[in-house]
Amino acid sequence: MTFVARTWNRLTIPGRVLLGLLLLGGLLTVGLALLIIFSEPILELLGANLPLVRFVAAATAVLLMTIPTAFLIIYMEMKIIALMNLRVGPDRVGPFGSLLSVVHGLKVLMKEDFTPTGADASVFTLAPVVTYLASVMTLLVIPFAPGLFGQDMNIALLYFFAISGLGVVGLLMGGWSSFNKYSLLGGLRSAAQVISYEVPLVLSVVGLLILAGTMSLNQLVLNQAGWFTDWYIWQQPLGFLIFFIAATAEANRTPFDLTEADSEIVAGFATEYSGMRFGFFFFAEYVNVFIVSALTVTLFFGGWNAPFPFPDIGLALDPGSLGIALLILVAVVPLVGILILALPFYLLRSSMPFWQALIIGFVLFNVVAVAAVLGWAFVSLEWVAGLLWFMLKTYSFVFIFVWMRGTLPRVRIDQLMGFAWKWLLPASLLNLFVTAAAVIVVRELRG
Amino acid sequence: MDPVFRRRLEARLGSKLSGPVRQRHDTTEIRIAAADVTDVLRTLHDDPEFRFTFLADLAGVDTGTVMQVVYHLWSDVTPDWLRVIADGLSRDDPRVPSVTFLWKGAEWQEREAYDMFGIVFEGNRDLRRIYMPPDYTSFPLRKDFFLADDAARSPGAGVRHMEQVHVPRGAPPASAVRRIPG
Amino acid sequence: MTATSRRPPADDPRVTLDEELGVFEPIPPYPPRTEREAEFYSLGDGEMFINMGPQHPSTHGVLRVVMKLDGEKVVDLDPVLGYLHRGVEKLCENADYHQTISQVDPLEYVSSLFNEWAPVMAYEQLLDIEVPRRAEYIRVLSGELNRISSHALFMGWMALDLGGLTPILWSFIERDEIVEMLAALTGQRMLFNYFRIGGVNGDLNHDFMSRLGDWMTRATQQIESNLTLLNENEIFVRRMRGLGTIDSETALRMCWTGPNLRATGLPFDVRRAHPYSVYPELDFDIPTRAEGDCLARYLLRLDEIKQSLRIIDQCLDRMPDGPIMAKLPRLLRPRPGRAYAAVEGPRGQYAAYAISDGTDQPFRLRIHDPSFIHLQSVGLLVPGHLIADTIAVMASLDPIMGGVDK
């Protein structure tokens, strides 16, 4: 062992990278060989445990999805708030600064991961993981599009509330273990806040559940198919308002971002965190924004349904049926397309050499081709259209969250608690009773 | 300048004044002994013919020979500022009664004067250093405190009430100190 | 020598720290020196100390406040100053009369013109100089502009301390235009160093006047429309109303001045109470509000901006021709004497007390700073409120740490 350690220490950094790559390559080769040799029993095993395989695949996909989602929302927030502040915002890295959040992510990765003296190291390390996992796990039940969801549970909504409530445990752990009074205050604030707002949050959807008669998010979305008038927002406007306000508090967003109130308690529970552990908190926060928006859309705004019944154009093109013509198309269309698109530039701009025109033609052709493929997918693949509508609606809500952050100051902790218990809770109870009464009356009238 | 006010001051405070009432530009100046500060300021504050309810400034002054505490007051009975100088505090042990019983806001100004000059305000319940660190031992605005290079050997010699002052060898001679008369 | 050279450098990763790293202990390591210190640094049941600053995002600089908390409620607090202390008064005693103007400039760095104005007025009294009327009008004009920019910044900070991100940048629009304007006039954006003993440094120029005229046509409307973002915001108003209330009598006992005092209902304004410069000739009101809470202090500054705009209008209207500097010798040696001069700064009475001993350096220059006085009252206003309110109260008093720490 000492020999290995000594050798490792003597290597230069490129040497270590090379050695690591070699080892990795060897492992992969061995694994691949094993996979090929035992392919038959493996496939059998997978086939026997299909739900499990599906679950693992979905979990991996969801886990990977959080990273671009968080990056996108962070970029949106930077850019939109900048525009509201009459600033330019990020504009250096990538087109319109769009890669800045990626750079932020890299920066966070490269920073020192620091544990303060006196902190409870194990709890301190575990806290961001708990918070992050709680928000990722809730993504599993969100139906993104027809057939595109992690798991279809009949108690999906219950599961959602149960798991999202776990996130606060992570914040509390982080706040308590940091050995910092600001962190402790932040952690306790978040505990008080999230537990208080959990009550109106859950109660505000009960009315909707009475109407829908199901807790499965998929079924809820299917119930809202048709015109946009079929969405639950029209039947539950008060429920939606309460849900949205409580969800803002759940996600710790302005004006309820007391847990990390930077002008009061510095950064709350995250004061002592640095490096990737801080990054996990950060990720979890933005993933939470996405999740809350997604759930709002799913419950009240028809999920992946289009706002109107989409006419079936009948353009169900099957590329396989074209046969040999497909090959010719693939070979000829790009050439012709590039030439046709390049021609006007070459003819109209006499100063332009032909190769520049060709480059422009090439770029334009790619744009057109991608647009065509997307359009085809949108029309003929149900899940693409569904995903598009879902994302459109969800990001509108993300925009509203960002907008609120740019506009509103923060409330005070006593006002926050008072608002939850004195206004939201009675209002959600009222909503529940009115809905229940209305359902009974309608049922009686219909006989 | 407000001669009526001057006569009124002389009539009311005549025995307490340690010098003539002086007037220049928009300021009337009286000098009193440190022991009379409580009485005189209370009279000026409470008496309905003066009504000096507003303490505009409280400053310590080291004249090079004595210490002074200077109060600037404002009232609606006269267009002048009233400058009250508590004169003749010894440089070795300057003591003066606090005015925090009239103006609570004088507390920090007295702390500042203590910090900078070593003037002890008796009755101020929070007479700590305010700008300099608590383990600092000299009084920077005194005239025997020299700047920058020679600050290290200028301890505000002679004052020993709260901090134990250490007088190093090579402290500047007393003749180097700037003075003003009175 | 050999011992030190053999010691490994501190950033060597192989070096481990033997001693335990210090954990902040707010209780001072010496016995209490005063009654108040003994009272503050003793904990009751369930109380804890928390140290806010000197590196805290919303203490407006380098203020440190030790707070005694019971849960989130502030039981008591002890502001600790001196982190920005530069000894300006001592420096001024060792500089000649002209040099002191640039020494006092960075005190209240958002309203530098007033920092210069008070000492310059005191020196003019010492020297018995009559300042030309055009210079006085220019002083009032630029001073009122500076007041508006300071108040605009205050409103932005106020919102930032309550958690709003946008208002500070919106108020920076006004401030930036004014600052650019003053830069055209004085040559600098922040520490103007513009007033001189006996006048001002330079006459009005075309750049300044065109910028000013451009801005004046839309100033009122723009400021009001910018601030509806806050004034009509329910969260903002609810947090500010009834917070940090003080009555006029207590305010006088705390030596308050300026907008903070006027928000309690007392119309005390040095420009009227003890007129200086050409203010007696100008027509403006002294806005007051009776509530004495944070919201009143905030709204009062809005009213003040409108009055300042009125004053600027009149200044432009009546600006006389003539010299901008009195005739003075290069080396100033005022005869021995004392002078006290106060101006109404954006934060209150800003005063200078100068003593001359007949040489070319002031014997003593005392700067009276309103931020210092107002900050003292935090200990009176805050106890009983929450941590968040501490920040709001402190912001509403508008202290500038450069002035507090001198």
User: pLDDT tens-digit profile of C342-373?
Assistant: 999 899 899 999 999 888 888 899 999 999 99
Task: Give me the helices (H) in A408-424, please.
Answer: 413-418
If residue C69 lies in a helix (H) or strand (E), which one and from where to where? strand C64-70
Alpha-carbon distance of C122 to C107, in angstroms, equals 17
DSSP string, chain B: --HHHHHHHHHHHGGGBSS--EEETTEEEEEEEGGGHHHHHHHHHH-TTT---EEEEEEEEE-SSSEEEEEEEE-TT-SSEEEEEEEEE-SSS-EEE--TTT-TTHHHHHHHHHHHH--EEET-TT---SSS-TT--S-TTSTTPPPGGGGGG---TT--SSS-----TTPPPGGGS-----
C-alpha of C404 from chain center:
8
The pLDDT of A256-278, averaged and rounded, is 81
Alpha-carbon distance of C233 to C164, in angstroms, equals 11
C37 close to B (CB below 8 A): yes
Chain B partners within 8 Å of C273 (Cβ): 74, 76
Least confident window among B165-174, C128-137, C150-159: B165-174
The pLDDT of B21-42, averaged and rounded, is 89
The pLDDT confidence band at residue B174, using thresholds 50, 70 and 90, is: low
Mutant choice from C376, C380, C401 vs B, greatest count of B C-beta within 10 A: C376
Name, in order, each residue with C-beta under 8 angstroms of A102's C-beta and a sequence gap of 6 or more. A71, A93, A94
State the pLDDT at residue C217. Answer: 85
State the pLDDT at residue C20. Answer: 47
Alpha-carbon distance of C219 to C226, in angstroms, equals 10
Mean pLDDT of chain A: 84
State the pLDDT at residue B156. Answer: 47
pLDDT surpasses 70 at C54: yes
Residue B114, in any domain of the structure: yes
| Chains A+B touching (3+ CB pairs under 8 Å) | no
| Chains C+B touching (3+ CB pairs under 8 Å) | yes
Angle between helices A275-300 and A100-110 (to 10 degrees): 140
Q: Which residue of A has its CA nearest to C236?
A: A409
pLDDT surpasses 80 at B164: no
Mean pLDDT of chain C: 85
A→C contacts (Cβ < 8 Å), by residue, are 81, 84-87, 117-118, 179, 181-182, 185, 189, 254-255, 257-258, 261-266, 405-415
Percentage of residues in chain A having pLDDT higher than 70: 96
Residue C32, in any domain of the structure: no
Sign of CA dihedral C386, C388, C392, C394: positive
B146 close to C (CB below 8 A): no
Name, in order, each residue with C-beta under 8 angstroms of C277's C-beta and a sequence gap of 6 or more. C121, C136, C139, C140
Contact B57 C366 (CB under 8 A): yes
Inter-CA distances, A372 with A186, A256, B85, C350, Å: 51, 44, 90, 71
Residue C35, in any domain of the structure: no
State the pLDDT at residue C120. Answer: 93
Pick the residue with more confidence: A322 or C397? C397
**pLDDT per position as a tens digit, A282-336:** 888 889 899 999 999 998 888 888 887 766 665 556 666 667 777 777 778 778 8
Residue B23, in any domain of the structure: yes
The pLDDT confidence band at residue B163, using thresholds 50, 70 and 90, is: very low
Alpha-carbon distance of C392 to C86, in angstroms, equals 27
Percentage of residues in chain B having pLDDT higher than 90: 18
CA angle B145, B148, B150 (to 5 degrees): 60
Residue C339, in any domain of the structure: yes
* Residue recorded with tokens 């309690």: C264
* Residue recorded with tokens 């941590």: C387
Instruction: ipTM value, please give it.
Output: 0.84
Q: Check if the beta carbon of residue A276 is closer than 8 Å to that of residue A108.
A: yes
CATH number at residue C276: 1.10.645.10
State the pLDDT at residue C141. Answer: 92
User: Which DSSP letter does residue C325 get?
Assistant: B
* Residue recorded with tokens 């269309």: A333
Q: Check if the beta carbon of residue B5 is closer than 8 Å to that of residue B77.
A: yes
Chain C partners within 8 Å of B154 (Cβ): none
Least confident window among B173-177, C125-129, C211-215, C229-233: B173-177
Minimal CA–CA distance to A160: which of A142, A186, A184?
A142
The pLDDT confidence band at residue B152, using thresholds 50, 70 and 90, is: very low
Do β-strands C48-52 and B120-122 pair in parallel, antiparallel, or remain unpaired?
unpaired
- Residue C126's domain comprises 88-405
State the pLDDT at residue B26. Answer: 87
Alpha-carbon distance of A325 to B101, in angstroms, equals 102
State the pLDDT at residue B162. Answer: 43
Q: Which of residues 165-184 of C touch A (CB under 8 A)?
A: 165-166, 169-170, 173
Chain C partners within 8 Å of B29 (Cβ): 338
Mean pLDDT of chain B: 80
Residue B175, in any domain of the structure: no
State the pLDDT at residue C46. Answer: 84
The pLDDT of C187-195, averaged and rounded, is 89
Alpha-carbon distance of C160 to C230, in angstroms, equals 11
Alpha-carbon distance of C255 to C269, in angstroms, equals 13
The pLDDT confidence band at residue B149, using thresholds 50, 70 and 90, is: very low
Chain B partners within 8 Å of C340 (Cβ): 27, 56-57, 72, 81, 83
State the pLDDT at residue A313. Answer: 61
* Residue recorded with tokens 């308590």: A176
Pick the residue with more confidence: B159 or A441? A441
Residue C48, in any domain of the structure: no
Three-state secondary structure string covering A163-188: HHCCHHHHHHHHHHHCCCHHHHHHHH
Mark residue A286 as left, alpha or beta (left: phi above 0; alpha: psi -120 to 50; beta: remaining). Answer: alpha
Q: Check if the beta carbon of residue B79 is closer than 8 Å to that of residue C276.
A: no
Tokens read off for A119? 């902190």
**Distance from C317 to chain A by nearest Cα, in Å?**
34
Q: Check if the beta carbon of residue A168 is closer than 8 Å to that of residue A176.
A: no
Which residue from C93, C274, C336 is facing B81, i.e. has the nearest CB?
Answer: C274
> How many domains are there within chain B?
1
One-letter amino acid for residue C132 of the chain: P
Alpha-carbon distance of C78 to A432, in angstroms, equals 50
- Residue B18's domain comprises 3-165
DSSP string, A6-23: HHHHHS-HHHHHHHHHHH
State the pLDDT at residue C19. Answer: 46
CA angle A222, A224, A230 (to 5 degrees): 160
